[in-house]
Structure 1
């Protein structure tokens, strides 16, 4: 099996859901895109590893191409570090790097949420409960709130029915049906997981939008500087967060 035929294991954004994968151009490649939040315990990574191992067994492949979007990059990179024998390649798109690598929060639209996650604030649970209500009753209001700091390119995606459908499903999962898993992933993200990035053995490809307001491009540069394997960084001119995901073609 050539690298261009390697099946994809997709790690969606946080917030987000499996339908994030529909925004990625993958051609005819087989894609496994599980719901990362669908687990019963407070430990996201064992569940992630189990889903990945099952996907490998079902694919019968010699390796998988792991793709992570946004905070899903944390899942992708930590998975690659834990499964060096079966992860053949890693692509991270609009990646949110470990917060320990720099003073990124002032440039991140979600900074208040991450600060609450670091403080283990009960206010965050109340906030997500309110967001869950909005996701059910007024998803347009919630989407406008989440994209308040986005630019014209990102907002132009609202005319794309596939994008709106993926986004709406991801909001329902994150703030509603799988809110506990979403909160556990946030808690995992705000810890220092930089040591695991250094352990990645598969080659890494990074795509990041020049004008991303969710994750500044400095995060992509920090990941590139941290890994010890061959790593390429493609900065998309005028690209933002989701628009960069839409622009990337795998395979």
Structure 2
């Protein structure tokens, strides 16, 4: 059974959160991608495949009915995540972030070391100011244009995303169609799975139901300093990446893997960005192993 709550935060905002799975299981916080929502963090059979897990998730500020936090940085996700865990009566927990959720999962690992037991970052990104990193190398032109606007003309990006959000509200499949020309064959195969496609479309629909602000603020947060150093993470981290990823290029994976001390780095040949939909199961098994060995 899914339980959904509204979590009030110290600054007067609220976020919408949900928990499901085993009530007495090991808590795992799932951070959604961009654009995204709590509805798109896991395929529907995840509780059956992992009956020992108590899943919980929330919509980042600006998505769905979660209040906006203009100017937020990636590090701010740690306080919001702690508040959501508190609201569900959860003390210590593991964290998984996919795609745009990856940096937010790493923020929890870095800034909540006494609460986060282990972290998995699936097809995540590295910081824009990462020393020695060519941030755009290998990235699809669609994303290059998107983040270039975030750097140089945020107002123009806001107008563009607002218009696109309105189109996606009418037809959630529109974003996938816009991206199709940039997707490698590996991603097209994943999206042919009706379970994945349905999850992705439900995710987009809820994420942009009220506005494009979550999408905009994520985009700006990824391009400004994150507010923490991934190299300072002391807990165990799994980095999982597809070698054919053109949305979070493989250079980001290598940069993070070189800097996170207790990392388990998994690079999947022939896999793209959307393969992370399936990789969640592998990540949950890895988290389970960390719990058993602790």
Q: Please say if residues 205 and 232 of structure 1, whose CA atoms lie closer than 8 Å, have aligned partners that are also in contact.
A: yes
Deviation at residue 104 of structure 1 after TM alignment: 2.6
Unaligned runs of 5+ in 2: 1-24, 286-294
Match of 1:143 among 176, 188, 209: 176
CA shift in 2, pair 1:170/1:246, >3 Å: same
Q: Compare 18-27 and 70-79 and name the one that shifted more.
A: 18-27
Residue in structure 1 matched with residue 201 of structure 2 by the alignment: 168
Residue in structure 1 matched with residue 82 of structure 2 by the alignment: 52
Counterparts of 1:49-198 in structure 2, within 5 Å, are: 49-56=79-86, 58-61=88-91, 63-101=92-130, 102-109=133-140, 110-193=143-226, 195-198=228-231
Q: Please say if residues 39 and 47 of structure 1, whose CA atoms lie closer than 8 Å, have aligned partners that are also in contact.
A: no
SS in 2 for 1:108: coil
Provide the aligned length of Structure 1 versus Structure 2.
Answer: 245
Alignment pair present for 1:32 and 2:60: no
1:174-206 superposed Cα distances (whole Å, 9 cap, x missing partner): 444242122112111111337421222211111
Write 1 or 2 for the structure with the bigger share of strand: 2
Deviation at residue 52 of structure 1 after TM alignment: 2.9
Alignment pair present for 1:20 and 2:35: no
CA RMSD of the aligned region, Å?
Answer: 2.2
Q: Compare 23-32 and 182-191 and name the one that shifted more.
A: 23-32
Q: Give the number of the structure with larger relative contact order, counting CA–CA contacts within 8 Å between residues 6 or more apart.
A: 1
SS in 2 for 1:221: helix
Q: Please say if residues 93 and 245 of structure 1, whose CA atoms lie closer than 8 Å, have aligned partners that are also in contact.
A: no
1-structure distance, mates of 2:90, 2:201: 33
Unaligned runs of 5+ in 1: none
Write 1 or 2 for the structure with the bigger share of helix: 1
Deviation at residue 208 of structure 1 after TM alignment: 0.3
Deviation at residue 146 of structure 1 after TM alignment: 2.2
SS in 1 for 2:270: coil
The alignment's TM-score, normalised by the length of structure 2, stands at 0.76
The alignment's TM-score, normalised by the length of structure 1, stands at 0.87
2-structure distance, mates of 1:7, 1:59: 10
